């Protein structure tokens, strides 16, 4: 096999958006997706009573909720990496046990990469956003760098 130097995927750290973790006991009739993994607007449904809101619209969404709810701003808690390229599924498969090939574009999930809990959002067939707690980010990033060298070497 011919070795190449292109891993076919890039990893870019994104500037932190506004991030709000939202808990609502009963989301019936509220502007929130209720299927776990679904995204509507700025809201990703992580669990039956838990959402991650990202971006400039997050605060407005919270302000419009009839309540009761719990909303905590966690913008600086996590680091988001943009993973992009034809080998993005190979890169994620080095640490994530989920079948990500079957994850629909426009959906998300909380899962694991190696031993770190992460939130993945599939933005396109070959583009994911991975959000990981700040203290785990150097570990995840170091594993990505190793995996990218392995993919580039044809392993």
Partner 1 sequence: MLLIHCPYCEQDLPELEFAYAGEAHIARPADPSKLTDEEWRDFLFIRTNPKGVHFERWRHVNGCARFFNAVRETVGDKFLATYRADEPRPDISSLTGDAK
Site membership for partner 1, residue 112 (CB under 8 A): yes
Instruction: Select the residue interacting with partner 1 from 27, 37, 85, 108 (CB under 8 A).
Output: 37
Query: Residue 63 Cβ, how far from partner 1 at the closest point, in Å?
Result: 25
Beta-bridge partners for 50: 23, 47
Choice between 67 and 104, CB closer to partner 1: 104
Site membership for partner 1, residue 141 (CB under 8 A): no
Contact 121, 39 (CB under 8 A): yes
Choice between 55 and 95, CB closer to partner 1: 95
Instruction: Select the residue interacting with partner 1 from 98, 127, 139, 141 (CB under 8 A).
Output: 98
Whole-angstrom CA distances from 132 to 26, 42, 50 are: 27, 18, 17
Query: Residue 119 Cβ, how far from partner 1 at the closest point, in Å?
Result: 10
d(CA 1, CA 67): 59
**Residues 17-36 as x/- pattern, contact with partner 1 by CB under 8 A:** -------------------x
**Residues 49-78 as x/- pattern, contact with partner 1 by CB under 8 A:** -x----------------------------
Residue with token string 């838990």:
50
d(CA 31, CA 51): 11
Categorise residue 29: left if φ over 0, alpha if ψ from -120 to 50, beta otherwise. left
Choice between 62 and 109, CB closer to partner 1: 109
With a CB cutoff of 8 Å and minimum separation 6, the contacts of 3 are 152, 153, 154
Which residues bind to partner 1, rule: CB under 8 A?
Answer: 36-37, 46-48, 50, 97-98, 109-112, 117
């Amino acid at each position: 096999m011919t070795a190449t130097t292109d891993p076919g995927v890039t990893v870019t750290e994104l500037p932190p958006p506004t991030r709000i973790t939202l808990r609502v006991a009963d989301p019936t009739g509220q502007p929130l997706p209720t299927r776990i993994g679904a995204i509507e607007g700025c809201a990703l449904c992580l669990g039956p009573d838990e959402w991650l809101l990202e971006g400039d619209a997050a605060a407005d969404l919270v302000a419009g909720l009839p309540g009761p709810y719990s909303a905590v701003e966690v913008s600086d808690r996590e680091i988001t990496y943009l993973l992009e390229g034809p080998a993005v599924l190979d890169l994620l498969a080095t640490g994530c046990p989920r079948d990500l090939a079957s994850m629909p574009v426009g959906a998300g999930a909380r899962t694991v990469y190696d031993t770190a809990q992460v939130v993945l959002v599939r933005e396109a067939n070959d583009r994911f956003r991975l959000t990981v707690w700040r203290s785990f980010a150097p570990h995840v990033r170091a594993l990505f760098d190793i995996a990218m060298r392995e993919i580039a070497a044809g392993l």
